Amino acid sequence: MKKYPSIISFLLILLAIIISFEESMPSYEPDINASETEFSAERAFKHVVEISKEPHGIGFPGHEKVTNYLVAELKKLELETDIQFDYNVGDEGNLSKPKNIISRIKGVNSNGKALLLLSHYDSSPHSSYGASDAGSGVATILEGLRAFFSKGIKPKNDIIVLFTDGEELGLNGAELFVNHHPWANDIGLVLNFEARGSGGPSIMLMETNRANGTLIKEFKKADPDFPVANSLAYSVYKILPNDMDTTVFREDMDIEAFNFAFIDDHYDYHTAQDNALRLNKNTLAHQGSYLMPLLSYFSQSDLSNLKSLEDYIYFNLPYYKLVIYPFDWIWPLFFISLTAFLICVFLGFRRKELKIKEILLGFIPPILVVGINGFIGFYSWRILKWLYPQYEDILHGFTYNGHTYILAFVLLSIAVCFWIYNKFRKITRPNLMVAPIILWFIINGMVAQYLPGASYFIIPLIGFLGSFVLCLDKKTVSPLLLVFLAIPGIWIYAPLIELFPIGLGLKLLIAATLLTSLSMLLLLPIFYGFKAKGKISYFLVLLSFGFFISAHFTANFNEDRKRPSSLLYVVNLNQNKANWTTYDKNMGPWASQFFSENGESPTGILSSSIISSKYNSGFNVVAPAELKDIQAPLVTVTKDTTIGQERVLELSIIPQRNVNRLDIFTNNVPISKGTVNGAQLPEYFLSKREGGKLLTHFIRDNDQTDLSLYLPLDVPLELTFMEASNDLLYHPLFSLPPRPKDEMPMPFVLNDAVVLFKTLQL
């Protein structure tokens, strides 16, 4: 250590970073022959394979096959199943007829609250195979129950198993169960298993209307081996609009819930690449590592008293698992740390270790580091899309080489830090440390006030203060001790640097560059002693550009990294006119053949956001198409009368061909209430609806749509109907070439569809 302090310090930091990732989840090993009482990822994977053989959204042929498979598997576990099957309209005006699969295991004490094991089994329409989202969750529950029953332990509480349907269409199955099934009243806690990618650690999130104190303490008692959880994610999740099944349980029934969801390999989310082969088995094992201890613990504990008025800070560390403490500690820890810092500064001046001029000069490096790296991060995604226009069509914004970009920008940020601090090497270490400490106190004060869940950021700062004390006290400081004090910060921030751009897209690379910069400031006591900071910065720049070059060579699409593409055939029945159209901004050869000579910008109804995507993208180009003889839906007004001061209009829309979806839009006429196929249109949606949307009916078995509306008298009503079938590529009236093997249907949009528009004045 004395001979090569810099090299050894660097290796220890690198080891700590590796541990922060490697110890976050179990390492998968083939376990098909594991004990019958143990969760086997291999046995769970067999369920994933069966569930994800074909797309199985509501209204698609694979759906009924998956339903039948799950019922059969529950029967193998000697569980009776109940099928809940009815129409439901979600809060966003999406109608479907979900088919929930429900079972109940009687506990020894059936008078207490029940534990609900939850996942959804429908895949995203129309091309996703749903292996991860959420076949992995269903498989985890099936395998977990099998292992649990093999132990021969009788649960104290009832255990309800719910595989919801229609989650991808607007949480319809959860809405149906919570508001219309008597067992919903019996539930005390929900364990929900989800996915937004195909790999990485599974992150625990909580749903509660109150505080998290009791929930997090009970979770810690259950003692899962690899918890990945922090109260920063909890605070952010409570701020953002939630859209998981558990949200319905919380909002409508005030039921607490734990969600377990993995988000890495985000590029597979909702795509045709969400298949069994791309699901990371380490991730599947991680889901099982949550379920088994939580199932054992919560099936035996009291679930009737999980409410709390006290929030807790919590975060995970390798080996230690979960650190928790009350929100009440936030400000005391802050002020105790601040007082300790001020005392150290006073003593530093008294001992003449600190000098005002050097301290003031010491503010320049962190300002430059944060400013330069923030600038790089802010413009990074814009520049990447300019250099590689094909990225525009990856709507969720995380490219196949996204991990390489994260690493490249992180290395570049570190290089900037080394280069700048090398210019200020004549300032002594204690004087250089004052500015970063003040900056981190400002950050901690702001999060304590506005984002208290992130207040565990004070822990690395306390370690930094410990290093400050050592640097003030001794001319020569043990690098090993400095590394030890920095380890909590490394373990806390290293996963977050990667998490933000993975979960929210590469537009959040600024979070990675800024968090890297701030983390490097915490490592200042260590790298200050590196004599070759300038050379290190140049080496890191070269290494960063090496990763940029690697990303360049993986920027194009191939059979493993498929290009998203879209194509629709749209008929405007009012004009008796047909068009090809696409969402693609940078078309590949397959889509280009329809637009190469006569493509133009969309106009009229095609230029509106009437069928925009989840990411607000509209049609990019249209071209004339031959008008085909496609049967329009039959729209019949069955009632048009007056009740009081309102007009009551009832109509039926009956498909005359096999269809998957019907969208209905209106002009700006206010609608006080309405029903569709017997289900009530939510009052909240009717009062807040935007863009004229009235209803999206995801159709099963070619069902008709029966609509009843209450609207003002003497106000003209305009209804636009959009009927779509996802059969363009195999429709008998068309003869289209198949997609090349390096392309897939673009997710999040209406795709491969034959679409009919018609506007009526009623």
Q: In order of start, what are the domains of the chain with their CATH numbers?
A: 5-20+331-553 (no CATH), 35-317 (3.40.630.10), 565-762 (no CATH)
50, 525 contact by CB (below 8 A): no
Give the residue from 740, 729, 751 showing the smallest Cα distance to 557: 740
Give the DSSP letter string of 269-321: TTSTT-SGGGS-HHHHHHHHHHHHHHHHHHTTS--S----S--EEEEEETTTE
What is 361-402 written as a DSSP string?
HTTHHHHHHHHHHHHHHHHHHHHHHHH-GGGGG-TTS--TTH
Closest alpha carbon to 117 in 87, 90, 148, 89: 148
Residues 6+ apart with CB under 8 A from 186: 113, 114, 158, 160
* Distance of alpha carbon 71 from alpha carbon 139, whole angstroms: 13
- At 735 the pLDDT is 92
Q: Which amino acid is at 571?
A: V
Q: Give the span between the Cα atoms of 684 and 224, in whole angstroms.
A: 39
Beta sheet of 81-85, edge-to-edge order: 81-85, 99-105, 159-164, 114-120, 187-195, 256-264, 199-207
CA distance 303 to 403: 41
465 residue type, one letter: L
Do residues 158 and 107 lie in contact, with contact meaning Cβ atoms separated by under 8 Å?
yes
Neighbours of 225 (CB within 10 A): 13
Report the C-alpha gap between 208 and 251 in whole angstroms: 9
Helices 61-76, 41-51: crossing angle, 10 deg rounding: 150
Cβ neighbours, 10 Å, residue 421: 25
Q: How far apart are CA 350 and CA 622, in angstroms?
A: 75
Residue 124 to residues 86, 129, 135, 343, 534, Cα–Cα distance (Å): 20, 8, 11, 58, 51
Averaged pLDDT, groups of 10, the chain, 762 residues long = 75 94 88 87 97 96 96 96 95 93 92 95 94 97 97 94 96 96 97 96 94 96 96 84 88 96 95 96 97 97 94 95 96 97 95 94 97 97 96 94 98 98 94 97 96 96 96 82 95 95 94 97 94 94 97 96 96 94 92 83 75 78 93 94 92 96 92 93 86 91 95 90 95 94 95 95 90
CB under 8 Å to 438, separation ≥6 — which residues? none
List the beta bridge partners of residue 721.
664, 758
99: alpha, beta or left? (left if phi > 0; alpha if psi -120 to 50): beta
CB 270 within 8 A of CB 128: yes
Reported as type and span, the H/E element at residue 686 is: helix 683-688
**Angstrom distance (rounded) from CA 173 to CA 305:** 27
Rounded to whole angstroms, the Cα distance separating 23 from 438 reads: 32
Report whether 364 contacts 397 (CB < 8 A).
no
Residue indicated by tokens 């541990």: 19
Q: Work out the number of other CB atoms within 10 angstroms of the CB of residue 672.
A: 12
Distance CA 240, CA 253 (A): 20
Residue-level pLDDT at 31 = 76
DSSP 8-state symbol, 250: H
Alpha-carbon distance 463 to 488, whole Å? 8
Distance of alpha carbon 392 from the chain centroid: 20
Burial 276-315 (b: 16+ CB within 10 A, else e): bebbbbbbbbbbbbbbbbbbbbbbbbebeebebeebbbbb
How many other C-beta atoms can be found within 10 angstroms of the C-beta atom of residue 542?
Answer: 11
Place of tokens 């953002």: 240
Task: Give the residue from 503, 2, 463, 485 showing the smallest Cα distance to 203.
Answer: 503
**Residues written for the chain:** 762
**Edge-first strand listing for the sheet containing 705-712:** 634-643, 646-654, 705-712, 673-676, 679-680
Total-model pTM: 0.94
Q: For position 1, what pLDDT does the model report? A: 53
Q: In whole angstroms, give the CA distance from residue 543 to residue 536.
A: 10
What torsion do the CA atoms of 518, 342, 13, 482 make, to the nearest 10 degrees?
160
CA 510 to chain centre: 18
